[in-house]
Each structure stands twice: as C-alpha cells, then as structure tokens.
C-alpha cells in the first residue's frame, strides 16, 4: 500500500510551495515546476492544474494518494478560482487554508465565503509565513490523524 500524503491545491503564487516545504520540514530553495511533486509528506499541485478546469481529472487521480486535501485561498488576491462545490470531488477530508492572512485583512470575510462556496466547512486555518502565524496550528491539527 502506498503512503498517503497531504495534497496542497491553490492558484499560482498563493504560498503552496512554502506551505509544502513547511509540512515536509524542508528548508531549501523554492522550485517552481509545472509537475505534481510528491514530497515526504505532501503532493504539491501546480497552480496551472486548478487554473485550467480540464486538468481537474489529474487532481482527482492524484488525490487517491491523499490522506487530506488542503485548498488554499490567498487573502492578498482572493480571486474566485474554484468551481462551486469543488471540495466534493474528494473522498478524503478537505481543509480550507487562507494564506497571507497578514495582508489585506479586509478580504478575510470574502475568503471565508469563498471556502464555504467551495464546500469546505470549518475549521479554516489562517496562516502567514511572513509573520509566522497559523502553521503550527495547522500542523498540530494534521498530526492528530496523520503524523508529520
């Protein structure tokens, strides 16, 4: 049986790779790639996969290896990119993550509304790597069921 990982999905430049590196305890350079990257604990899904609906089938196929799916919304640019009910595509638990929560606090309510429209119930995690908030709470939540 293959190891289950945490799948991280979000638009380009929303902080996916930074989050993936934190979940994998990796402190090296960031790499942008057009491919799915299977890390120690994660599956990093490139932004192009979510920005082009015809690629959803690849996300769904890769999600078979996921214990959790994290869907990211960028508070600094909360453009609606996901289809309504998108979270229902997955058989494993789906968790909403609002990234860059230190930027443009006036967008917080819009991001939460977007996560609810996608079909993600609370809790939603608000993280900012710049100020160092939220990542520990997310790791703790995930480690209750999935040891990192």
Task: Using the Cα atoms of residue 132, residue 137, residue 139 and residue 140 in order, give the sign of their dihedral.
Answer: positive
- For the cut 70, the answer to whether the pLDDT of residue 1 exceeds it is no
CB-based contact 141:125 (threshold 8 Å)? yes
**In this predicted structure, what is the pLDDT of residue 143?**
85
CA 48 to chain centre: 14
Q: Count Cβ atoms below 10 Å from residue 42 Cβ, excluding itself.
A: 25
Average pLDDT for the chain: 91
User: Token pair of 8, please?
Assistant: 């991280």
At 85, which CATH number?
Answer: 3.40.50.300
φ and ψ at residue 97, rounded to 5 degrees: -130, 125
pLDDT (tens digit, 9 = 90+) per residue, 35-64?
899 999 999 999 999 988 889 999 999 999
User: Token pair of 53, please?
Assistant: 């609906």
- For the cut 80, the answer to whether the pLDDT of residue 120 exceeds it is yes
**In this predicted structure, what is the pLDDT of residue 113?**
96
Structural domain count, the chain:
1
pLDDT (tens digit, 9 = 90+) per residue, 68-82?
999 999 999 988 999
φ and ψ at residue 128, rounded to 5 degrees: -145, 120
Range of the domain at 16: 5-145
């Amino acid at each position: 049986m293959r190891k289950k990982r945490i799948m991280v999905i979000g638009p380009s430049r929303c902080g996916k790779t930074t989050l993936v590196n934190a979940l994998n305890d990796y402190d090296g350079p960031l790499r942008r790639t057009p491919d799915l990257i299977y890390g120690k604990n994660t599956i990093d899904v490139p932004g192009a996969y979510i920005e082009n609906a015809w690629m959803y089938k690849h996300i769904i196929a890769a999600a078979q290896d996921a214990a959790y799916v994290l869907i990211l919304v960028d508070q600094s640019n909360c453009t609606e990119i996901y289809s309504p009910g998108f979270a229902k595509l997955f058989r494993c638990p789906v968790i909403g993550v609002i990234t860059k929560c230190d930027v443009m606090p006036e967008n917080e309510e819009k991001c939460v509304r977007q996560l609810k429209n996608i079909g993600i119930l609370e809790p939603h995690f608000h993280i900012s790597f710049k100020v160092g908030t939220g990542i520990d709470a997310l790791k703790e939540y995930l480690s209750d069921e999935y040891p990192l």
